[in-house]
Amino acid sequence: MTNKTVRPILEMNAFDKQSPQTENVARRIANTGASSVLFYREPIEMVSAEGVWMTAKDGTRYLDFYNNVPCIGHSHPAVTAAVNKQIATLNTNTRYIVPIVDDYLEALKATFPKELSNVVLTCSGSEANDLAMRLACKHTNGTGFIVTESAYHGNTSLVTQVSPSALKNTSLPEHVIAIPPPAKKYYGDNIEQGFADQVQLAIEELKQRGIKVAALLFDSIFSSDGVFSEPEGFLSKAIEVIHQAGGLYIADEVQPGFARTGTSFWGFQNHNASPDIVTLGKPMGNGFPMAGVVTKPEYLDSFCADVGYFNTFGGNPVAAAAGLAVLKEIKDKNLQENARLMGDYLKAQLQSIAEQSDHIAEVRGSGLFLGIDICHPDSADKPDPEFTVNMIDQFREEHILIGAAGPDGSTLKLRPALCLTKTEADCFIDAFAKILKAS
């Protein structure tokens, strides 16, 4: 429960602005200043993308194992067609009735437990988590939040407060407690109990600070912490603990949601957990900006009695069309099952290669959301962020895009589109073996 320093997530594999800049990189930095965030020691100029592949200006085709937003594949024709049809017809706000919006809301709700029967559509996962936190505060009359040490939940003022991995020189505010992620190294073999105990301690610590807890806010696969999904169901006890304390459980599904984990459509379902509020984002529109909060009606009732909430772009019919196309494609092409099969295959192959290498401490994850811990050759307990960055660069040489996560940036994070084929998975597996062999 210490406020440990974690490596800011934006520093991972980031272009160093002190390095020599090509004309286009200089242009970007002149336009966006300190807020510019480019990947790689030498940033890549992209010109097109399709399926799991992105094409750079120099003609190189990169296998995209990083970007989880285009979940059904880059530039997907079903989304293009849906957006094109709707944007040419009607794009307005939710103050009018447009049935495609309700078609989408109903299709989305059908994937959730019945009690989560209200949806608020927003533009970004950040807006969704901002609203979810306020619903929890209003309902519980509390202000305290419990998150994990390297959590990232978004970019608004409120949400940044619960995102330790977005903070550089500032520490967490008093009402936020970060606990160690659900990893064996912190909790041994009983992650479920250990994690629940930490939640209990955090609730008591908040109480000592004179703060009532409002909610647990967890990314259901703990992505920025380094990807933790096992053992199945380990969240259950922590959720019991927060409920006993009168707090809510907010499931942040911005990263694991929409079938990525293969075993279930939503990450929280892998924990047999019943969230009080769920937040969605990134893959929802395959790149069309959209996100949302799925909640029990009573939380909205009390919140909206105090605050008028309206989102101008949230729930526009073009977003609804994009969202419907994504849901349909996942269903029609059985992408959840593909994520499970390809994920299992990838994980097994990578684990088998990892056994031959003293650079790999662990390969874990669910479906097409995997994490690979990179360690010093002399000990599996010594993370090696430098070697990780080098591997990311070597993957680039092999024409594969990949990123890092975890408190020190030593976990490779794999999140290819859900339509990944075995041939494409083999591309990655071969590159992984080659890079490790050469090191």
Task: Say if residues 108 and 119 touch (Cβ distance below 8 Å).
Answer: yes
* Residue ranges in 209-228 that form contacts with a copy of itself under rule CB under 8 A: none
Task: Please report whether residue 157 would count as binding a copy of itself according to CB under 8 A.
Answer: yes
Residue 220 CB, nearest distance to a copy of itself (Å)? 18
Q: Show contacts with a copy of itself in window 272-331 (CB under 8 A).
A: 281-282, 287-290, 297, 300-301, 303-313, 315-316, 318-319
Amino acid of residue 397:
E
Please tell me the count of residues contacting a copy of itself according to CB under 8 A.
103
* C-alpha span between 40 and 18 (Å, rounded): 13
Q: Which is nearer to a copy of itself, 39 or 345 (CB)?
A: 39
Residue 23 or 189: the one with the smaller Cβ distance to a copy of itself is: 23
Return d(Cα 356, Cα 316) in angstroms, integer: 51
| Per-residue contact flags (x/-) with a copy of itself for residues 80 to 109, judged by CB under 8 A | x--xx--xxxxxxxxxxxxx-xx--xx--x
- Is 292 in contact with 319 (CB distance < 8 Å)? no
Which residues from 116-135 bind a copy of itself, rule CB under 8 A? 117-120, 122-127, 130-131, 133-134
Of 307 and 438, nearer to a copy of itself (C-beta) is: 307
The single residue listed with the structure tokens 């967890």 is: 218
Please check whether residue 222 is in contact with residue 182, taking contact to mean a CB–CB distance below 8 angstroms. Answer: yes
Shortest distance, position 404 Cβ to a copy of itself, whole Å: 13
Spatial separation of the C-alpha atoms in residues 276 and 308, rounded to whole Å: 21
Q: Which of residues 22-41 bind a copy of itself (CB under 8 A)?
A: 24-25, 27-28, 30-39
Q: CB nearer to a copy of itself: give 310 or 355.
A: 310
Q: How far is CA 93 from CA 314, 319, 417, in A?
A: 7, 11, 30
Burial of 326-354, coded b for 16+ CB within 10 Å and e otherwise, reads bbebbeeeebbebbbbbbeebbebbeebb
Judged by CB under 8 A, which stretch of 76-84, 199-207, 358-366, 388-396 contacts a copy of itself? 76-84
Of the candidates 6, 51, 52, 67, which one interacts with a copy of itself according to CB under 8 A? 67
Q: How far is the CB of 86 from a copy of itself (least distance, A)?
A: 9
H or E element in which residue 267 lies? none
Q: Which two tokens stand for residue 212?
A: 């009532």
The tokens describing 390, both together, are: 């080098």
**Residue from 6, 49, 191, 211 binding a copy of itself (CB under 8 A):** 49
